[in-house]
Structure 1
């Protein structure tokens, strides 16, 4: 046993050494010999027909050999032609450049592209080429030039499909990281809005941007975000869900402890509160930390409408949360254990409906819930032209046929349908999924112990919620711990002039975000 452990430890150490050796081998500097470096690059990309290597002479001097390397489809061919090839081959006259200072003259006075960086090793060269930039290699130089020429086709800015509003901006994030950072810059035109970029993924090398407002955000929070991101060691990051799962505080919980949105106005509002946004290249969903439970019931439109309208709609979402979570379980508990709670006419009607049903209420509810979950998933996965039609027609036909066949009662179809509709009211899709999972647990407790089981399940759920943290911040704030000042924007939204301070547990450095309430209150006409 000990031998196997020692052998496994030795194998692990060898694997680490091999990975380290491969990493050190890949970071090999450029030799400065033009033909040798070009041959090595050709061998590396010999199976990649989309990587273009073009050799030429700078100006009319045949001794000034140079080459450009770029990826067709990722780089802008027009920019390469106008700002690189034309500048180096046509605009340069003989005798204008010096052989000794060629690389400096190319960078300082010849190239007309916007962003230029230096490359001194092959690994950086490969990453730069595969990121859409163009690498310029010059004979006799141990460093190459990276010119910013990324120009692939991407989706235009359009209205988000998952978070629509009646009143508010119609723009949403795209899959382009730089477009997303620009959308946030348009909202917050302040030099204290920092954007720090890094790459995660040993193979995908996905660009990640961390954005926050200096002077408002807690510096410890920023440090914790960078610490967790730097600990990630994975081959590829294809969506922000990868990052979310790797940096979240709690793994085994159905509730989302990291908020996400594809609306720039929502992310900008979070940044103004002192939160940190994590943008991932290749996805329109931006992560925000820390996240609170009540945040999943808030939408951008709450702040664009009057406070009374926004508060009413927010309370409606919370009521729908209760219905979606406890609707079927409450029906099971009352009809199975607590019939005395129902009025006599209603009890007689329910008994008549269930007279020919062969299953108990719990089995009846589980069958209907599973059927609706199948229809919901089928409506999402099928093509849009037929997805909605299949889900609607399937629900109608299935419900009516099940009632006529005597498998389920009509009242159970009503309860399950109302529960499914209430589940769609949630603005946060991942919170809706959590409620769908917890609903089955509540139904089991109700079928076992009635209302007492629902009470026990609710207490266990509340204890679990109070134990959660999101980057050190209590998940149930401002209810637990109770922060009276932050209740102004929780269950209801107070008028704009009353929202004087930022959330206390998120930001403790710069609490005030607007003038005093007396200065913002509308003055009555004299």
Structure 2
């Protein structure tokens, strides 16, 4: 059962259930993951009778109700009955017709049909495709058929041949849409898992790169790749990631965002605990630090874990800029976050509770601007904040060509009309606009959503108690952030707790001084290779 956010202020005895902690390891530790699959006893094995196998597959795939499941009967060695089963639309028809069927029907005439290892001979001498395997479990065979494989069954054999003949349409590699940088790679992940893995392999040529494939979702049966750098990553981290993925018992997992919600530490927390990226270069930088990547088939994003607030804060372009450029951009970004969170609440606290802190000229200007406005300040502010959020959300739902026009023109028209009608004051339009611009500087979308929601929380506290309310809210938020963990790593590390780290938490430093991996990851190799 997940803890609710307010439970951190209530004393309770520690539960007996152990929590995952990313403990420190020695550099000479090389523990291999020896997790075993214990589900073989539950699998049904195929029969040596061809008709029984065909009946089982027809029942499982609802044939002939499923019109795209194709069964092609043929003769092997001129006398052995056999059949191929595949999903039409997922296989390469040219490869299937000109290579597989041709070789099986004409290239097996010289083989002895009484040979005991006939299937091995077919694999080694007849079938000339890249990925060929022998399998005897129905569950594995059916999952591979639905992934684009073709299965060959023979009369009198209790094993079948799985042939990789994938040939479905997929989107080509394009520019990233959400993580745009001035300098950096201009390619992004796509929805096809093999393509994404090939991109990672091409950009990260390291023999220690490990890619483990799992099946996730009880009904969707999507492939999921767990990627990490062996000898660098803490060996307990990939074990924990695979353990959490294996525990997902949902009926269907359709995207990486759904998977994140099942494997994160605490689903009640406002801030994200897993970061997703569509940029391969950023994903590889996570691997170099000692993190684990999870890529789901059908999703153009790679999820990285564990993370901290500063992982969300930085962008993939920070290392591509010279250190003083990066420091300047980082300061601007931090100012944008502070403005997005606190500017509206500070305005409420100043106007309602602390007018003595405002100069006489500014106070007179605010009073004259508010003259004739029929609503209280808090109502005025919340209405405009909600109107801004409505315009932003509407701009995301319309076609790309219209969205920019809708966002700019809609905000200008609404603001100008509201001021002319005397419903809001001009200074409030400036406050709301500055708050919105500040939120656009936040590079990570889930973090931006957390900041936007927390802004209304601080506005309510400022209306109730002024700067005292804001101080209480800051204490509560920092307490929540300090209690958060992402796969055993404190969310505010390396600031609290204070750890040794590369000197780029906020301000950037020359790249040659970034010699160490993040200390909070407890990687096997603390120091990067020069």
Does 2:508 align with 1:493? yes
Question: Which of 400, 403, 419 is the equivalent residue of 1:384?
Answer: 400
Instruction: Give the conservation status (yes or no) of the 8 Å contact 2:502–2:514.
Output: no
**Partners in 2 of 1:94 and 1:491 — Cα distance?**
71
Instruction: Give the conservation status (yes or no) of the 8 Å contact 1:26–1:123.
Output: no
Question: Structure 1 stretch 411-420 or stretch 24-33: which is displaced more?
Answer: 24-33
Instruction: Give the conservation status (yes or no) of the 8 Å contact 1:293–1:475.
Output: yes
Instruction: Give the conservation status (yes or no) of the 8 Å contact 1:273–1:507.
Output: no
**Partners in 2 of 1:200 and 1:215 — Cα distance?**
26
**Partner residue, 1:521:** none
Question: Structure 1 stretch 387-396 or stretch 282-291: which is displaced more?
Answer: 387-396
**Partners in 1 of 2:466 and 2:107 — Cα distance?**
85
Q: 1:345 to 1:82 in 2, by over 3 A?
A: same
**Partners in 2 of 1:26 and 1:223 — Cα distance?**
23
1:118 to partner: Cα distance: 1.8
Q: Deviations over 1:28-78 (max 9, x none)?
A: 32222123322332343221111111111225x1x2222111111111112
Instruction: Give the conservation status (yes or no) of the 8 Å contact 1:176–1:283.
Output: yes
Q: Secondary structure at the match of 2:109?
A: coil
Instruction: Give the conservation status (yes or no) of the 8 Å contact 2:132–2:161.
Output: yes
1:487 to partner: Cα distance: 5.6
Q: Which has the higher helix share?
A: 1
Question: Which of 227, 232, 235 is the equivalent residue of 1:219?
Answer: 235
Does 2:472 align with 1:456? yes
Does 2:450 align with 1:434? yes
1:405 to partner: Cα distance: 1.0
**Partners in 1 of 2:368 and 2:179 — Cα distance?**
43
Q: Secondary structure at the match of 1:413?
A: helix
Higher RCO (CA 8 Å, separation ≥ 6 residues): 2
**Partners in 1 of 2:196 and 2:111 — Cα distance?**
45
Q: Which runs of 5+ in 2 are unaligned?
A: 1-38
**Partners in 1 of 2:52 and 2:511 — Cα distance?**
67
**Partners in 2 of 1:457 and 1:354 — Cα distance?**
28
Q: 1:409 to 1:53 in 2, by over 3 A?
A: same
Question: Structure 1 stretch 133-142 or stretch 90-99: which is displaced more?
Answer: 90-99
**Partner residue, 1:10:** none
Question: Which of 305, 308, 314 is the equivalent residue of 1:292?
Answer: 308
TM-score, with length taken from structure 2: 0.89
**Partner residue, 1:316:** 332
Q: Deviations over 1:291-310 (max 9, x none)?
A: 00011121111101101101
1:97 to partner: Cα distance: 5.7
**Partner residue, 1:511:** 526
RMSD of the alignment, in Å?
1.7
**Partners in 2 of 1:99 and 1:46 — Cα distance?**
34
**Partners in 2 of 1:506 and 1:512 — Cα distance?**
12
**Partner residue, 2:432:** 416
Q: Secondary structure at the match of 1:450?
A: helix
Does 2:366 align with 1:350? yes
**Partners in 2 of 1:29 and 1:257 — Cα distance?**
41
Q: Secondary structure at the match of 1:300?
A: coil
**Partner residue, 1:165:** 181
Q: Deviations over 1:382-441 (max 9, x none)?
A: 222322222222111111111111111111011101111111111100100001100001
Instruction: Give the conservation status (yes or no) of the 8 Å contact 1:248–1:258.
Output: yes
Does 2:122 align with 1:121? no
**Partner residue, 2:72:** 54
**Partners in 1 of 2:334 and 2:402 — Cα distance?**
32
**Partners in 2 of 1:465 and 1:327 — Cα distance?**
21
**Partners in 2 of 1:78 and 1:178 — Cα distance?**
20
Instruction: Give the conservation status (yes or no) of the 8 Å contact 2:502–2:515.
Output: no
**Partners in 2 of 1:508 and 1:198 — Cα distance?**
24
**Partners in 2 of 1:40 and 1:206 — Cα distance?**
22
Q: Which runs of 5+ in 1 are unaligned?
A: 1-22, 516-526
**Partners in 2 of 1:143 and 1:304 — Cα distance?**
53
**Partners in 1 of 2:229 and 2:55 — Cα distance?**
47
Q: Secondary structure at the match of 2:226?
A: strand
**Partner residue, 2:281:** 265
**Partners in 1 of 2:495 and 2:111 — Cα distance?**
75
Does 2:349 align with 1:333? yes
**Partners in 1 of 2:468 and 2:251 — Cα distance?**
49
Question: Structure 1 stretch 209-218 or stretch 86-95: which is displaced more?
Answer: 86-95
Aligned residues: 490
